[in-house]
A and B are shown apart, each in its own frame.
Chain A
């Protein structure tokens, strides 16, 4: 099964094609902008260099958030439209899990982290089972960094905690302060999402694929206007 993987959910733009046994190609840039302009062109170039036609694809996997609202939408809209028009399955993968997959094999808590402004982060905690799979131990959420670090220090006992993501650098001091010598940081390449991981995870989850129409972003929070409106109704 040949799968196309897409991630435009955060600053990195990454696309990859893989089959069951191997990665066929991957294109990852950290230009941090122009996802809308570059995504389809990037997919076209990748397929062309692999001498593949869109019809040669059997499935699509896409990072469905959390992340930049617009970025997530560009990837999800493209993935579901491509899958629908080709009549192939499409599956959404957590953008956090994609980054966590960089640390497969690490013993301890694996904590991807994206800045969500106002002291908040999008995050989750994963654990690696050998080099076979990742399991989520603290589910994905948007949370105040302070609260999150407290929770981590209590729930991941004794073991090291590896923080992943470009935004970790913004909070490094705070993290060390709270987790002391249990805090771990990764080399830079481990901080970026790689679509090859999406392809790998997507291959295993393709049986969970829903109808393309039903694939939607996972924002982890309501639009601000909606949240305010709901709060007002409850008053």
Chain B
């Protein structure tokens, strides 16, 4: 924040900020995340230490619909939001007076869901004169790693989730360059679609991962390398190849062992993700490789990325499973960088469903 301007709200949060900075006390941020189907609130100290991380998951509810229903998710967020925040403060043994700033996800995500967390964050920020920070959801996933170990730059982060597949380069805190991203489906989306074709329940990722452990990757499936120098991804061709394989087999009256198909599909996804990440890391002389996002829970991806990074002498950080899926601790961790820079949002903060990571760094 440059200087306090004319509104009383600005005056108050500036005052809170100055007081906190002067006090030299640890900086406790309240994180709020409602971009998809988890209502989450957390308290994180100095961007690195989790004091609490409460996640009210709706996974069970959305399972019956075979995917996240935005309207249903938004309704649950309103029901859960203040309870979740209160629980996060209680577990952290903090009061709102101890909170230096509120960090909230403002995109990308489901707009109706985002708006609930944002409305709550703005209301508390205004009511109590606590600075407000808007956080990019993917920045949150990346910063989940800082809850495990200090970041060293330059770093390359592979962010894979139901909605995202991105290779991000960071040369310093809070600055993001997109090296590559998916041109069609996100990796997690491809998992869900293939899982459906194999009659596995939603969400498909963990089921395919488990099934793949029992099979052998014996079915030839394509790898989308795209142009030789590209770090972009494409999974729709692979998904179609899987569906064709199943279709052709049933035409011939044959059955394909689902475990082998799952293993073959997973091998293709993982190989492309791992090779592009390692190639990017070598090219930018990365001092660290990070894995982030819900698909980071995938066993095969973790194992193969670990093996390849070790072979290349690249230090790899993978957060524990609990920090790979959506949570508010990662939002507070990312928000801490903005806090140090005094970069606060104003009360007109809005939810931006298609927010780009590169829009955040300015």
Which of the candidate stretches B80-88, B138-146, B177-185 sits at the interface with the other chain?
B80-88
> Is A30 in the interface zone, CB < 8 Å from B?
no
Known: A43-B126, A80-B82, A212-B82. A224 touches B71 (CB 8 A): yes
**Supplied contacts A78-B122, A216-B79, 17 more A-B pairs, CB within 8 Å:** A36-B118, A37-B349, A40-B122, A41-B347, A53-B8, A69-B75, A70-B74, A70-B111, A70-B115, A73-B74, A74-B119, A77-B116, A78-B123, A85-B124, A213-B83, A223-B69, A225-B72
Q: Let me know if A37 and B126 touch, CB within 8 A.
A: no
List 8 A–B pairs whose Cβ atoms lie within 8 Å, in order of A's numbering. Answer: A34-B350, A36-B351, A37-B349, A54-B129, A69-B71, A77-B115, A77-B116, A81-B123
B119 touching A229, Cβ below 8 Å: no
Task: Report A-chain residues with C-beta under 8 Å of the C-beta of B131.
Answer: none
How many residues of A sit at the interface, in one of the four size bands? 35 or more
A-B contact count (CB 8 A): 120
Q: Which residues of B contact A (CB under 8 A)?
A: 7-9, 64-65, 69, 71-72, 74-75, 77-79, 81-83, 85-86, 96, 111-112, 115-116, 118-124, 126-129, 346-351
Contact of A36 among B127, B128, B346, B350 (CB under 8 A): B350
| Chain A stretch 151-178: residues in CB contact (< 8 A) with chain B | none
Inter-subunit contact B126/A77 (CB<8 Å): no
Interface hits, A8-67 → B, CB 8 Å:
34, 36-41, 43-45, 47-48, 53-54
B127 touches A82 (CB 8 A): yes
Which residues does chain A contribute within 8 Å of B116, judged by CB atoms?
A: 73-74, 77
**Contact call B7/A44, Cβ cutoff below 8 A:** yes
Residue from the list B65, B69, B74, B126 in contact with A54, Cβ < 8 A = B126
Pick the residue among B9, B115, B348 that contacts A73 (CB under 8 A).
B115
User: Is the CB–CB distance between B71 and A223 below 8 Å?
Assistant: yes
Interface residue from A44, A70, A81, A225 paired with B9 (Cβ < 8 Å): A44
Residues of chain A within 8 A (CB-CB) of B346 are 41
Smallest distance from the beta carbon of A26 to chain B beta carbons, Å?
A: 18
Q: Chain B's nearest CB lies how many Å from the CB of A125?
A: 27
Chain B residues touching A, majority SS: helix
A216 touches B112 (CB 8 A): no
Task: Give the secondary structure class of A's interface.
Answer: helix
Contact assessment for B96 and A85 in the assembled complex, using a CB-CB cutoff below 8 Å:
yes
Are A85 and B128 touching (Cβ within 8 A)? Answer: yes
Task: Please indicate the chain B residues that have their CB under 8 angstroms from the CB of A82 in the complex.
Answer: 123-124, 126-127
Question: Hey, which chain B residues are within 8 Å of A229, CB to CB?
Answer: 64-65
Q: Which residues of A contact B112 (CB under 8 A)?
A: 69-70, 73
What B residues does A79 contact at CB under 8 A? 123
Q: Given the complex, which residues of B lie within 8 Å of A219, measured CB to CB?
A: 75
Judging by beta carbons under 8 Å apart, are A39 and B119 in contact?
A: yes
Q: How far is the CA of A41 from the CA of B350 in the complex (A)?
A: 12
Please determine whether B124 and A81 come into contact, CB atoms closer than 8 angstroms: yes
Closest 6 CB pairs of A and B: A81-B123, A77-B119, A81-B120, A40-B347, A223-B71, A225-B69
Q: Which residue of the partner chain, among B78, B111, B122, contacts A217 with CB atoms under 8 Å?
A: B78
CB-contact partner of B126 in A36, A44, A74, under 8 A:
A44
Among residues of A, the one whose C-beta sits closest to the C-beta of B69 is A225
